[in-house]
Structure 1
C-alpha cells in the first residue's frame, strides 16, 4: 500500500519518560520534513473537526547506541530523510539550545538517543535490520 516506510529507533537504556519524549519530538520532525505523510483531519459524528495525523503506519524499534549509530550511517548512505535526537538535548530548555548542542556532535559518532528514518521501504528496512520492536 505504501512505497515508503517510517521507523523510529529509541535507545534502550533511557527512562520511559525519555523514550516517550524522544519519540514525540521526532514525530513532529518527520511530519515537518515529510508533510505528504499527513492524512486528512478527523471529523466525528457530530461534525466536530479535529486535527490530522500521519496517514501511514510507523514502527518503533529499540536499540543500543551501536544500533542507532549503525542505522544512522545506513540512513546517510541511502540518503533517507532522518531526524536524530542526541543525549545532550535532554539538558537544554529550548529549540535554539538543541541546535547548538547538536552542532557540537561528531557526525561519525553521535551520542544518539533517538532517530527517525523515512524513505523507500527496502532502504529503511536495511537501516533497521536486526533491531527489535520497542516493548
Structure 2
C-alpha cells in the first residue's frame, strides 16, 4: 500500500544561513534570492507543477523543505569556508547587493571582491544531508 502522506527522509538537504543582524525585509529578500538558483544547478530539487481542482496551472516548487538558519557574521564566514572546501552547491548574498538593482550589477559586485573579502549576509547550500549539517553546524534555526 502506497501512503502519499508518509514522511519522506531526504538524503539531501537545502539550507539557508542568514546573518542574525539583518532586518526582516532583508532576511526575506536574501532567502528568496539565495534559493532561486538551486533549481538551475540541481534540477532534481524541483518537483512537478501544481494544479488546483479547476486545472489552473501553477509553477513547481522544491520537492523538499528548505531549512533556514541564523548565525553571526563569523559563523557565516566559517560555513562558507566549509561549503567551498566540500565543493557543495552554494549561493552567496553579500551586503553590497542591497545597493544594486539588477542581476548584472549583483554579479559584478560579487566579482569585485576576493572570497575572503566577501561581506556575507547569507548563503544557501544544497548537498548530502550530512555535509550540509556540518556546513551549518553552530547555527540556530531561524526564529
Shorter-chain TM band? over 0.9
Report the alpha carbon displacement of residue 72 of structure 1 after superposing the two structures with TM: 0.4
Mapping for residues 36-47 of structure 1, pairs under 5 Å: 36-47=44-55
Which deviations, in whole Å up to 9, do the C-alpha atoms of 1:7-59 show, x marking residues without a partner? 00011111110110000111211122212110011111122211110001110
CA drift of 1:73 comes to 0.4
Gap runs ≥5 in structure 2: 1-8
| Residue 106 (structure 2) aligns with | 98
**Pairing 1:25-44 to 2, within 5 Å after superposition:** 25-44=33-52
Structure number with bigger Rg = 2
2:86 maps to 1:78: yes
- Secondary structure of the residue aligned to 1:46 is coil
- Distance in 1, matches of 2:32 and 2:74, equals 22
What's the Cα RMSD here? 1.0
| CA distance in 1 between partners of 2:89 and 2:16 (Å) | 12
Contact 1:69 1:109 in 2 (8 A): no
CA contact (8 A) 2:18 2:123 kept: yes
Q: Please tell me whether residue 69 in structure 1 is matched to residue 77 in structure 2.
A: yes
User: How many residues matched?
Assistant: 135
Q: What TM-score does the superposition give when structure 1 sets the normalisation length?
A: 0.96
Q: After the TM superposition, which segments of 4 or more aligned residues of structure 1 sit over 4 Å from their partners?
A: none
1:17 aligns with 2:17: no
Residue in structure 1 matched with residue 134 of structure 2 by the alignment:
126
**Cα distance in 2, alignment partners of residues 44 and 100 from structure 1:** 41
Choose 106-115 or 51-60, whichever is displaced more: 106-115
Contact 2:68 2:141 in 1 (8 A): yes
